[in-house]
Amino acid sequence: MLLQKTNEHDHQLTEQGTARRFFFKAGLGACALLALPTAYASTPRTSVKQLALLNLHTGERVKSVYWEKGRYIPGALREIEKVLRDHRTNKMHAIDLRLLDLMQLLHSRMGAKKEFQVVSGYRSPETNQMLAMQNNGVAKQSLHMQGKAIDIRLPEFSLANLRKAALSMKVGGVGYYPNSNFIHLDTGHVRYW
């Protein structure tokens, strides 16, 4: 009887811990999403969200509506993930939806007509390690490895103007690499370099 009560008590504690972790994670996720709606505040409402991307390493393109009628479209997300895969290892990874929304918002704010040119999307840990060994500017724990970062340019705008527009959104990280002709966007803490 004592053993049964102890097991029931342990089970209750485990359920409580699991519930707390779930609500804690849900709360963190909700807080992280709060920043992006602020950036959207001055943007007209849209019924669809779409992206047009060109991977400069593979030559692959995608132009896809990835959100419509209040929901993300799984097939479109897979097409985007394929174009943003690590071109060195051919590995794919889920791309942070906030990153896609951030790019879509940036494209809209710029009034861009052309596709984003992608220098680097997802990076496998192997690729990131190799790049970090070759270049001190590559973070060893890069958000690229989590599908939360991208290096891009928009050929119809100067890199400086693209950076300025990205900074004005005050969401995530914005890196400026004029010598390499791209800006870095990520969904981490608000910061710039």
CA neighbours closer than 13 Å in the CB half-sphere of residue 70:
0
Percent of the chain's residues with pLDDT above 70:
77
Rg (C-alpha) for the chain, rounded Å, is 20
Mean pLDDT score, 7-18? 48
Average pLDDT along the chain: 85
- Report pLDDT digits (tens) over 157-170: 999 999 999 999 99
- Report pLDDT digits (tens) over 134-157: 987 788 899 999 999 999 999 999
**1 pLDDT more than 70:** no
**83 pLDDT more than 60:** yes
**5 pLDDT more than 80:** no
Which sequence spans correspond to the domains of the chain? 1-41, 46-192
Mean pLDDT score, 88-114? 98
Question: How far is residue 155's CA from residue 50's CA, in Å, rounded to a whole number?
Answer: 18
- pLDDT for the residue 25: 39
**40 pLDDT more than 80:** no
Question: How far is residue 14's CA from residue 157's CA, in Å, rounded to a whole number?
Answer: 54
- Report pLDDT digits (tens) over 24-36: 434 444 444 454 5
Total residue length of the chain: 193
Question: How far is residue 85's CA from residue 13's CA, in Å, rounded to a whole number?
Answer: 41
**73 pLDDT more than 60:** yes
Q: Transcribe 65-127 into DSSP letters.
A: EEEETTEE-HHHHHHHHHHTS-TTT----PPPHHHHHHHHHHHHHHT--SPEEEEE----HHH
Residue 97 CA, distance from chain mean position = 6
- pLDDT for the residue 44: 55
- pLDDT for the residue 136: 79
In sign, the C-alpha dihedral spanning 71, 73, 76, 77 is positive
Which residues are CB-neighbours of 165 under 8 A, at least 6 positions away? 106, 109, 110
Report the top-level CATH class of 46-192: alpha beta
- pLDDT for the residue 88: 97
**20 pLDDT more than 70:** no
